[in-house]
């Protein structure tokens, strides 16, 4: 955060490096059922992020001491491929990925109806193939699609987005450069129906006003992202239904 | 207001005139009901259900299921029923006189049984029994599986769909509530039956499936007769 640089992140017209305005999202694409072996899966491309998610379960939790007698545990594992970033990332879990796994697990647990599956676990494997800022939120957004595709009961989908401060201005959905050289980064995930916040982190500093602005921008953006999630899920089934009814 | 076969997502509000939301829904704090699955709506005379597109089987008392023996203990068999939890079969719940420690003579690892869920407790431990009409060890045949929520579609109204497939392919079919299906017959007929089941699985959320299936089976039947001549 706040590394000194000569790069002008926002130009005179108020446009950002990639030509977006302050409240514009990067292009996003979600696909479901991309893996045959998994119970549910999703693939997301969000800006330069490319992330694959596989969901397994619910199945009996193993090792046995991780079981909870009255609810299922959601075990998300966020993992970055060695080739996902500019400089080779040393493979394996590290402090950052363990933290992200934890916050994603907790965010998903508040949507999944864990009480229906005592002693069980739900595995969510998040593999980041290419990283370009906002991977935790992209991974979480794709995870909730994969969970829905796996037929796991949920109260609501989980939708996330980031906002941040760049050159003193609050902007939505930070890109790599803005994340590295900006002043603040605010990833946030909500349950769109109730508006409950299930993930909120902040790197850098925001004033109360800036925070309010950033969070309202995110809430507005989650509506669009939620629509993309739903379209991704329904696509295949709607196509079959339409094809058959037309016969 | 939602209609039958409408696609809904987790969290979507579901309601239809004069029906009570039942399976696959949950109550919100304001008294409305929401779907907890990504699936389709099924409106019957009294109730509204959400049927998910996929998902695992959850054992319910009285269900007849097909299970695979995965372990043999001193007095129990451990059975995989395609669910999050394994189930148990005790020697006293079989029609045979089994001596403790001599279980392998009757059922070994890898055998399939058609059993009934006898009881399920709060932590989803369950026990099955073989003591009822039609329950048995599966001898021969092929096993195929589909998503458990689609089983009612395979069976059809009063068993119409599965009977149609049975008659058209002259195979014996046993459908377990847990998504496993046992098929026995001539290999080419079994292949046709499996392809028909796959078709039902793929198009479970569409209307007019029975008529399309009838057509499909007649076509396939013609092919088989044509080949053998």
Write down all domains in chain A, each with its CATH number in brackets.
28-245 (3.30.230.70)
Give the B window 68-107 contacts with A, CB below 8 Å.
Answer: 84-86
Given an 8 Å threshold on Cβ–Cβ distance, is B202 in contact with A240? yes
Among chain A residues, the shortest Cα distance to B84 is held by: A59
From B38, B84, B149, residue closest to A117, measured CB to CB: B84
Tell me the angle at which helices B187-202 and B160-169 cross, rounded to the nearest 10 degrees. 150
Q: Which residues form the domain of B84?
A: 64-138
Is a pLDDT exceeding 90 seen at residue A48?
yes
Q: What values do phi and psi take at B168, rounded to 5? A: -65, -35
User: Residue A119 and residue B7: Cβ atoms within 8 Å?
Assistant: no
User: Which positions in chain A touch B212 (Cβ < 8 Å)?
Assistant: 244, 247
Res. A246: pLDDT tops 70: no
Do residue B128 and residue B88 come from a single domain?
Answer: yes
Residue A230 has pLDDT above 80, yes or no: yes
Please give the Cα distance from A156 to B12 (Å, whole number). Answer: 8
Give the three-class secondary structure for A87.
Answer: coil
Please tell me which of the candidates B37, B147, B203 has its beta carbon nearest to residue A244.
B203
B36 inside 8 A of chain A by CB: yes
Same domain for B150 and B126, yes or no, is no
H/E segment holding residue B75: none
Domain identity same for B102 and B118: yes
Q: What is the mean pLDDT of residues A155-159?
A: 96
- Residue B176 at interface with chain A, using a CB cutoff of 8 Å: no
**In 3-state terms, what secondary structure has residue B208?**
coil
Distance from CA of B53 to the nearest CA of A (A): 6
pLDDT given for residue B229 in this prediction: 45
Q: Is B52 in Cβ contact with A120 (below 8 Å)?
A: no
Tokens of A34: 């991309």
Q: What is the mean pLDDT of chain A?
A: 93
CB contact under 8 Å between B10 and A155, yes or no, is yes
What chain B residue is nearest to A113 in terms of C-alpha separation? B36
Number of domains present in the structure of chain B: 3
- Residue B58 inside a domain? The answer is no
Is residue B125 included in any domain, yes or no?
A: yes
Chain A / chain B CB contacts < 8 angstroms:
99
pLDDT of residue A119: 95
Which chain B residues contact residue A155 at CB under 8 A?
10-11, 26, 34, 36
Q: What would the pLDDT profile of A14-27 be if each residue is shown by its tens digit?
A: 899 999 999 999 99
Distance from CA of B228 to the nearest CA of A (A): 31
In a domain, residue B122? The reply is yes
Q: Nearest Cβ partner of A233 from B34, B38, B207?
A: B38
How far apart CA A72 and CA A237 sit, in angstroms, is: 29
pLDDT value, residue B225: 63
pLDDT tens per residue across span A83-117: 999 999 999 999 999 999 999 999 999 999 999 99
CATH number of the domain that B40 lies in? 2.40.50.100
The domain that holds B218 is classified in CATH as 3.30.1370.10
Chain A residue with CA closest to B10: the answer is A156
* Contact between chains at A153 and B212 (C-beta distance less than 8 A): no
Residue B210 contacts A, CB cutoff 8 Å: no
> Any CB–CB contact under 8 A between B123 and chain A?
yes
- Residue B130 shares a structural domain with residue B154: no
Mean pLDDT across A171-192: 94
pLDDT surpasses 80 at A1: no
Q: Are B149 and B215 members of one domain?
A: yes
CATH number at residue B75: 2.40.50.140
Low-confidence ranges of chain B (pLDDT < 50): 229
Question: Do B162 and B177 have their domain in common?
Answer: yes
Find the residue in A nearest to B35 (Cα).
A155
- The ipTM estimated for the assembled molecules is 0.91
Interface check A153 vs B, CB under 8 A: yes
| A66-86 per-position pLDDT tens digit | 999 999 999 999 999 999 999
How far apart are alpha carbons A191 and A155 in whole angstroms? Answer: 9
Residue B131 and residue B177 in one domain: no
Strand partners, B119: B127
Residue A6 CA to residue B180 CA, distance in Å, equals 64
Distances (CA, A) of A159 to A108, A125, A141, B9: 10, 17, 5, 13
Q: Which residues pair with B174 in a beta bridge?
A: B182
pLDDT reported for residue A5: 63
Q: Do A244 and B206 touch (CB under 8 A)?
A: yes
Q: Rg of chain B over CA atoms, in angstroms?
A: 20
Calculate how close chain B gets to A211, using CA atoms only, in Å: 27
Q: Are residues B129 and B158 in the same domain?
A: no
Cβ-contact A144, A53 below 8 angstroms: no
Nearest-5° Cα angle at A139, A137 to A141: 70
* B18 & B35 share domain: yes
Name, in order, each residue with C-beta under 8 angstroms of B31's C-beta and a sequence gap of 6 or more: none
Domain boundary among B121, B138, B155: B138
Angstrom distance (rounded) from CA B176 to CA B145: 9
- Confidence at A7, pLDDT banded by 50, 70, 90: confident
Domain presence at residue B218: yes
């Amino acid at each position: 955060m706040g590394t000194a640089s000569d790069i002008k992140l926002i130009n005179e017209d108020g446009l950002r490096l990639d030509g977006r305005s302050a409240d514009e999202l990067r292009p996003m694409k979600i696909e479901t059922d991309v893996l045959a072996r998994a119970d549910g899966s999703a693939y997301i491309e969000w800006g330069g992020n490319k992330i694959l998610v596989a969901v397994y379960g619910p199945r009996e939790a193993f090792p046995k001491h991780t079981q909870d007698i009255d609810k299922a545990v959601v075990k998300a594992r966020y993992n970055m491929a060695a080739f996902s970033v500019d400089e080779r990332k040393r493979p394996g879990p590290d402090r950052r990925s363990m933290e992200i796994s934890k916050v994603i697990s907790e965010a998903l647990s508040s949507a999944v109806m864990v009480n229906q599956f005592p002693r069980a676990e739900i595995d969510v494997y998040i593999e980041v193939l290419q990283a370009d800022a906002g991977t935790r939120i992209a991974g979480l957004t794709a995870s909730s699609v994969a969970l829905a595709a796996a037929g796991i009961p949920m109260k609501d989908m989980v939708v996330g987005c980031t906002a941040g401060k760049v050159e003193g201005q609050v902007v939505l959905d930070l890109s790599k450069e803005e994340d590295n050289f900006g002043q603040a980064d605010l990833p946030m995930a909500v349950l769109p129906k109730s508006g409950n916040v299930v993930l909120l982190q902040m790197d850098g500093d925001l004033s109360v006003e800036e925070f309010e602005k950033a969070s309202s921008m995110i809430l507005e953006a989650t509506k669009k992202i939620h629509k993309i999630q739903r379209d991704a899920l329904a696509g295949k089934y709607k196509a079959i239904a339409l094809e058959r009814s037309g016969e | 207001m939602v209609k039958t076969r409408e696609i809904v997502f987790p969290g979507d509000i579901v309601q239809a005139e004069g029906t009570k939301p039942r399976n696959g829904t949950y109550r919100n704090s304001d008294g409305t009901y929401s779907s907890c699955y990504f699936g389709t709506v099924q409106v019957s005379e009294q109730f509204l259900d959400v049927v998910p597109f996929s998902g695992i089987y959850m054992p319910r008392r009285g269900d007849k299921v097909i299970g695979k023996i995965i372990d043999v203990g001193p007095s129990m068999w451990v059975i995989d029923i395609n669910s999050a939890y394994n189930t148990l079969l005790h020697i006293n719940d079989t029609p045979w006189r089994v001596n403790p420690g001599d279980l392998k003579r009757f059922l070994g690892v890898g055998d399939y049984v058609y059993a009934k869920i006898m009881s399920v407790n709060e932590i989803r431990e369950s026990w099955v029994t073989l003591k009822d009409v039609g329950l048995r060890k599966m001898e021969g045949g092929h096993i195929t599986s589909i998503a458990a929520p689609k089983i009612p579609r395979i069976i059809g109204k009063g068993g119409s769909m599965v009977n149609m497939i049975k008659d058209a392919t002259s195979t014996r079919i046993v459908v377990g509530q847990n998504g496993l299906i046992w098929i026995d017959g001539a290999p080419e007929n079994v292949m046709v039956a499996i392809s028909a089941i796959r078709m039902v699985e793929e198009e479970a959320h569409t209307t007019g499936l029975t008529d399309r299936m009838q057509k499909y089976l007649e076509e396939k039947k013609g092919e088989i007769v044509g080949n053998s001549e």
